[in-house]
Structure 1
Amino acid sequence: MNLSLFGRIACCLATVFWAAVTCRGDDPASAAEAAGATPPAAVQVRGDLHRSREIFATTGQGRVAFIGGSITEMDGYRPMVMDSLVARFPDTEFNFTNAGIASTCSHTGAFRLPSDVLSNKPDLLFVEFAVNDDQDAAHSYQDALRGMEGVIRSARSSLPNVDIVITYFVNPGMLQTVQNGKLPTSIAAHDAVAKHYGISTCNVAVELAKQIAEGKTSWAIYGGVHPKPAGNRIAANLIDDVFRHAKFSLADAKAASRQTFAPHPLPPPIDPTSFWHGRFLPRDAIALGSGWSFVEPTWKDIAGSFRERFAGRPLTVATVPEAELEVAFSGTAIGLFVLAGPDAGVVEFSIDDGDWHAADLFHRFSKGLHYPRTVVLKAGLEDGPHQMKLRVSKKKNGASQGHAVRILEFVAS
């Protein structure tokens, strides 16, 4: 999984301009580090990384996880950060978890965190959801906050010693917002969470805007929403800035006096209905009615492209209107993690025998792809046990070819 030192150097030398603009060198004990240079405006160092540093330095083992969307899933900034960790802790054997899933937002992240990340008990966690909360989910401030606080508070509740770094990537609209002197909605919400929980952040949007203003780079060189090596190097360099100022290396650990660190403080939640109890519901919580089945779809016979990561697994499926099921859950929120393709339908739901409401599963990216997305049907419920009835609506999106509902997971918090 790791890029070699030679590979990193080759990447940086691919073009002279990229090397001059974006690469600082791979030595963790660089001159800037030794001098204790002030971190750039794009980096906010909060709290510390002492707990994972101590584990890496004293046990020779390290568990590191990355969660986010396609920017995390792809071989971009993540392998660069992995290589930096190996260079900083050369005697440590690392186990890396890539929990990036393309197209997914912080809501999906909060609901899948226990199974995809916390089950591996990471010592250090990197989080990235700003772009997908903006362009894929189009979350409001409240929704982006509920998702990110869900991720952070869930992680710190389950693993009180886990160290966390959040990175904000950028798309053209977000870049324009930053260039206009404002914060994109998703970054503002995520940053409120980071401040509240004392977590360091790396704002690629701010750094890229600065470098463009200085004539050092451009959006084309950065590489787009899914950055090229030059863009990913900007992100990795910002994370290295956090490492430097947190004194995060084997040498720093040896220079410090040995001590036992208390768990990270856990302040009251910003929003008590954030998704920090996020989870997938067990199958026995679902009572299937007529028209529903738990089966792997025959994808080759269904219109729309399909991502192989979802192959070989059964889904809860209905394709005809009025098919109904029931879900028992507890908490304040309920939703569906679905694959919404060209034939995605509309669902109707009633909670605790209340009024019926509708949710359209079809997404603007559904036209040619079975698009993974989490649709939160209801949030802000009174905390406690609930019963939901769910049925396929007779109505459908005007752009959809059908009424299909294909559920990867029922989610609750």
Structure 2
Amino acid sequence: MNLSRSGRIACCLAALVWSAVTCRCEDTQPASGDSDTLPPAVAKAPAVTVRGDLYRSRQAFSATGTGRVAFIGGSITEMDGYRPMVMESLAARFPETEFEFTNAGISSTCSHTGAFRLPTDVLSAKPNLLFVEFAVNDDQDAGHSHDDAVRGMEGIIRAARTSLPDVDIVITHFVNPSMLQTVQEGELPTSIRAHETVAEHYDISTCNVAMELAQRIAAGKTTWAIYGGTHPKPAGNRIAADLIEDVFRQTKFSSADAKSGNRRRDLSRRLPPPIDPSSFDRGRFLARDAITMGPGWSYVEPSWKDIAGSFRERFAGRPLTVATVPGAELEVAFSGTAIGLFVLAGPDAGVVEFSIDDGDWQAAELFHGFSKGLHYPRTVVLKSALDDGPHRLKLRVSKKKNEASQGNAVRVLEFVAS
């Protein structure tokens, strides 16, 4: 999206309340959400951690008069919340710069999906500055372990810095009720702890909305209801935008600072060794010619009006790789260490069985807790930590299904590998 200065301002002053298209909106007050006491370690913990600087993007914005900025995350990024506020701040800090903004937020998706779609949805735009948000969805949607959350977030950060060595990155941790309660009890939620591990390793600045909110609630400055819930109201999004603004201030991030020569510091961008060699830093969508479909499979746009379950318009008009009959089989050729499916898993989502390199057959459940009323977008990683090299996946529709599912359907948006 190319915006003139007036267009940028108009865009950024657009509606800040979004009718959420997600299937889970935990906007009720958590049991301990308005706690007025915090463990000392939490009460004194900074909500903003500045690492490295934003020098490269600042110089690009100032020297060229153009700027490319991308946002990737789940529904909190997709909605008109903190993102337009940050866009407005950038327009004010760099008034002579023409910005191109990329909104790569997709509701319900986690950092694994983010890593696999990064080349298509973000890196293709060649951003100078990237904002990342996946803490909530890695928690409530994917339920990732610490290692799985590291694997997804490191995949995003390492891939971005490999493809675009000069890209500056800021990670923001939003919050849901259970995550807030965890912070109030003196612990970091698993997803935030994992993402901080990655941020520290790669020298990335972070903004911890969960920590800031817990501290403000304890100080009597706000409540969970005022914040607005898992999908924040304007007041909650303003907290996040203000934390990012603090990163901007500390790193002297403006055209005026660029002209005066002010800078915080400029650290080397040599990539450190990976935290997890099996992280999804080579995540990608596989080309259609990698897929050999057998009988029972088709590449077609489903007739959504004839299929039970609600459907998000962002997926309208897209052909999917589809099978609904048990026993239907296909094969996928890929290289790397991981293989998976980016699917729409609705009320009739089934189970797939798979074998890699003619090994033992295993099963993977596609039906999700949120599939009962929605064709829910999710990535199912079938296998990771494989030996790096060429592999062949055999995949078939199982006769088995979740007892809550209405069928055996497999609807694949993309086959993914890393």
TM-score normalised to the size of structure 2? Answer: 0.89
Aligned ranges 1:379-398 → 2 under 5 Å: 379-398=384-403
Answer whether contact 1:45 1:242 (CA < 8 A) is retained.
yes
For residue 33 of structure 2, what is the aligned residue in structure 1? none
- 2:414 is aligned with 1:409: yes
Match of 1:254 in 2: 259
CA 1:8–1:45 in 2, change beyond 3 Å: closer, same or farther?
farther
Q: Deviations over 1:323-373 (max 9, x none)?
A: 000010011100000000000000000001111110010001000000000
Cross-structure match for 1:151: 156
Amino acid at match of 1:273: S
Residues 121-270 of structure 1 aligned to structure 2 (within 5 Å): 121-256=126-261, 264-270=269-275
**Is the CA contact 1:64–1:94 (under 8 Å) kept in the aligned structure 2?**
yes
Unaligned runs of 5+ in 1: 12-38
Q: What is the DSSP-based 3-state SS (H/G/I as helix, E as strand, rest coil) of the residue aligned with 1:372?
A: strand
Deviations 1:225-269 (A, max 9, x none): 0000000000000000000000000111011179x9786221010
| Aligned partner (choices 94, 98, 113) of residue 99 of structure 2 | 94
Structure 2 residue 82 is the aligned partner of structure 1 residue 77:
yes
Question: What CA distance in whole angstroms lies between the structure 2 residues aligned with 1:227 and 1:278?
Answer: 30
Identify if the C-alpha distance between structure 1 residues 73 and 8 changes in structure 2 by more than 3 Å, giving closer, same or farther: closer
Q: Secondary structure at the match of 1:252?
A: helix
Query: Aligned with 1:394: secondary structure?
Result: coil
1:340 corresponds to: 345
Q: CA RMSD in A?
A: 1.9
CA distance in 2, matches of 1:327, 1:119: 25
What is the alpha-carbon distance in structure 2 between the residues aligned to residue 143 and residue 122 of structure 1?
A: 26
Say yes or no: does 1:279 pair with 2:295: no
TM-score normalised to structure 1 length: 0.91
- Contact 2:117–2:285 (CA<8 Å) still a contact in 1? yes
The whole-number CA distance in structure 2 between the counterparts of 1:59 and 1:72 is: 27
Name the structure 1 match of 2:35.
none
- Give the count of matched residue pairs: 385
Aligned pairs for 1:15-34 (under 5 A) are none
Cα pair 2:52 2:267 within 8 Å, conserved: no
Contact 2:301/2:320 (8 A) holds in 1: yes
Change beyond 3 A, Cα 1:359–1:8: closer
The residue type equivalent to 2:215 in the other structure is K
**Does residue 61 of structure 1 match 2:66?**
yes
> Structure 1 285/355 Cα, relative in aligned 2: closer, same or farther at 3 Å?
same
| Distance change in 2, residues 1:409/1:178 (3 Å) | same
Structure 1 counterpart of 2:31: none
1:191 and 1:381 map into 2 onto residues whose CA distance is 26
The aligned residue for residue 310 of structure 2 is: 305
Secondary structure of the 1:63 match is strand
Q: Match of 1:221, SS? A: helix
The 1:297–1:79 alpha-carbon spacing in structure 2 relative to 1, beyond 3 Å, is same
Deviation (angstroms), 1:70:
0.3
Looking at structure 1, the residues matched to 344 and 15 of structure 2 have their Cα atoms a distance apart, in angstroms, of 40
Q: Which amino acid aligns with 2:217?
A: I
Query: In the alignment, what sits opposite 1:331?
Result: 336
Identity %: 77
Post-superposition, which runs of at least 4 consecutive aligned residues in structure 1 deviate over 3 A?
Answer: 1-11, 260-263
Shift of the alpha carbon at 1:100? 0.2
Q: Distance in 2 between matches of 1:209 and 1:8?
A: 28
Query: CA separation of 1:9/1:87 partners in 2, compared to 1, >3 Å: closer, same or farther?
Result: farther
Residue 224 to residue 9, structure 1, CA distance change in 2 (3 Å): closer
Cα 1:391–1:159 shift into 2, 3 Å: same
Partner of residue 41, structure 1: 46
**Partner Cα separation in structure 2 for residue 286 and residue 46 of structure 1:** 43
Aligned to 1:357: 362
What is the match of residue 368 of structure 1?
373
Q: 1:341 to 1:322 in 2, by over 3 A?
A: same
Report the AA paired with residue 108 of structure 1.
T
SS of 1:270's partner is coil
Contact 1:362–1:400, Cα closer than 8 Å, also in 2: yes
Q: Is the 8 A contact 1:145 1:193 kept in 2?
A: yes
- What SS does the corresponding residue of 2:281 show, helix, strand or coil? coil
Contact 1:3 1:79 in 2 (8 A): no
